[in-house]
A and B are shown apart, each in its own frame.
Chain A
Amino acid sequence: MAVAPTRLQVLALYKQFIKNSKQFNNYNFREYFLRRSRESFRANVALQKPEEVARAFADAKEELGVLKRQAIISQMYTFDKLVVEPLDSQKHTPSPTGV
């Protein structure tokens, strides 16, 4: 009944997970969701049967919905940066030593 998703579809879904996880304002949540996205996709890397892949894909899609909602909620609050976070996480300058 369920059709197994293509490789591109799975990768696109993974990209959505990573992108949305990075939206969290809070360091701990952000790192947790990144870790969780990576682990859940890696855990299913070896799935072969089309119906299993389709089920995992459908589950992941639902979780992506949760992730998106929570990321937006997280953006409604401000959190102090932790000491482990770089102050300017965007746009790092190339290292002076060159390539």
Chain B
Amino acid sequence: MLRSALARCSARPSAAAARALTARRAPISAVSALSARFYSPPSNLDKSAITGRVIDVLKTFNKGSEVAADKVSAASSFQKDLGLDSLDIVEFIVAVEQEFSIEIPDKVADDLKTIGQTVEYIKNETDAS
């Protein structure tokens, strides 16, 4: 989350600074040194690890104890298989956001119907940790 926010904020000022520098002396090496930023690499969470953590979150959040353990698999649907209603799903999504330090937009969250879809979304989220 922080990385993308930083990239957004810094894109314009650094470009302006680079332009100012090239206009004065055109030291190409200095410009590239200035614009080099050292971020941690995008997280490469492995799919099975994400699934494990998502299922752990599912078992420990408020209604988790009521979820039938034998029905939990990547394909299980929150509503049909696990018996969660829309309010429960919102709570689950908040717990997942906390666990992976990400923010899932409401519109996307509404489309996440199964554990597999949730895992897939987290996998594509480079800021997840």
Contact-residue size bin, chain B (C-beta under 8 Å from the other chain):
20 to 34
B51 touches A99 (CB 8 A): yes
**B55 at interface, CB cutoff 8 A:** yes
Binds A, one of B3-11, B32-40, B75-83, B87-95: B87-95
Binds B, one of A47-55, A58-66, A68-76, A90-98: A90-98
B91 touches A12 (CB 8 A): no
Docked pose: A7 CA to B107 CA in angstroms: 11
Q: Chain A residue with minimal CB distance to B100? A: A91
B110 touches A90 (CB 8 A): no
**A41 at interface, CB cutoff 8 A:** yes
A1-56 with Cβ < 8 A to chain B: 7-8, 11-12, 14-15, 18-19, 22, 34, 38, 41-42, 45
B87 touches A22 (CB 8 A): no
CB distance from A3 to the nearest CB of B (A): 19
Docked pose: A14 CA to B87 CA in angstroms: 7
A22 touches B98 (CB 8 A): yes
**Among B48, B90, B94, B98, which residue has the most Cβ atoms of chain A within 10 A?**
B90
A90 touches B98 (CB 8 A): yes
Q: Which of A15, A38, A41, A99 contacts B106 (CB 8 A)?
A: A15
B94 touches A8 (CB 8 A): no
B56 touches A18 (CB 8 A): no
